[in-house]
Amino acid sequence: MNLLVYKTLDELNKDLADYIIKIAEMSIEEDDKFDFVLTGGSSPKALYQYLATECQHRIDWGKVYFFFGDERNVASTDENYNGLMAKKTLLDPLNIKEDHIFYVNTSLAPEDAAADYKKALDKHFKNQEINFDLVLLGMGDDAHTASIFPGTDLVENNKATVAAVYVEKLNTHRISLTAPLINQADHVAFLVFGENKAEAIKHVIGDEEKDFSKYPSQLINPVDGKLTWFTDEATTSLLT
């Protein structure tokens, strides 16, 4: 595990963009494509805008396939739909073709949307192991990542799949990659900043004894891949 701590969000996003471009270049050279899982929420907005502007000409974006680590069970036109935020900030500005973007179909019931997404992944990976080049993750102040929330049955899901989960505290369903599926990736990167996440990261990274149900981000530990945390000083202030 590699923990990177930045003074400013600009420095963090610039370095994270360089890291993404480097993995994209390696993947495109090896396989002629880059399978990239995007995170949702508010944290990646500035990063996506930076990629779409400053990094517009650094790689062939036509060779990138975009996926989502999790999705909220709302219409694709709803501002809370993770896909819409990525579309506005990254995918439309880069003119990414629709057949390179794997949105979660939330017009289906959550269980069906999860099964539909898994089917699309299996097809893309030609029914071989689903092995993303890079999974970008965020983390909530409750230590959830993707939509693996504390106390939900998704924490216990030990299958590499896509699952629907009911999140009681939000009174809603979510659709999410499971931790074993994320852990099959070659690279996993967390993008976490801000003081409100200091307590969570203290436990996720700092605790010797793991409590996955309380701190689901502890589940992320790539089997053969590399894990990197892109953080700031405020978030890591409680780590000793």
Ligand X SMILES: O=C1O[C@H](COP(=O)(O)O)[C@@H](O)[C@H](O)[C@H]1O
Binding interface with ligand X (CB under 6 A)? 39-43, 69-70, 72, 82, 138, 140, 147
For the record, the structure tokens of 125 come out as 């990976």
Between 64 and 192, whose beta carbon lies closer to ligand X? 192
CB of 197 to ligand X, least distance (A): 7
CB of 139 to ligand X, least distance (A): 6
For the record, the structure tokens of 97 come out as 């073709």
Between 43 and 184, whose beta carbon lies closer to ligand X? 43
For ligand X, the nearest residue by Cβ is 41
Between 69 and 225, whose beta carbon lies closer to ligand X? 69
Between 25 and 141, whose beta carbon lies closer to ligand X? 141
CB of 188 to ligand X, least distance (A): 13
SS3 170: helix
Residue 76 CA to residue 73 CA, distance in Å, equals 9
Residue 149 CA to residue 30 CA, distance in Å, equals 35
| Whether 37 contacts 117, CB under 8 Å | no
CB of 60 to ligand X, least distance (A): 26
SS3 191: strand
| Whether 90 contacts 136, CB under 8 Å | no
CB of 126 to ligand X, least distance (A): 27
Looking at residue 190, its amino acid is F
Residue 60 CA to residue 51 CA, distance in Å, equals 12
For the record, the structure tokens of 29 come out as 């050279």
Between 48 and 59, whose beta carbon lies closer to ligand X? 48
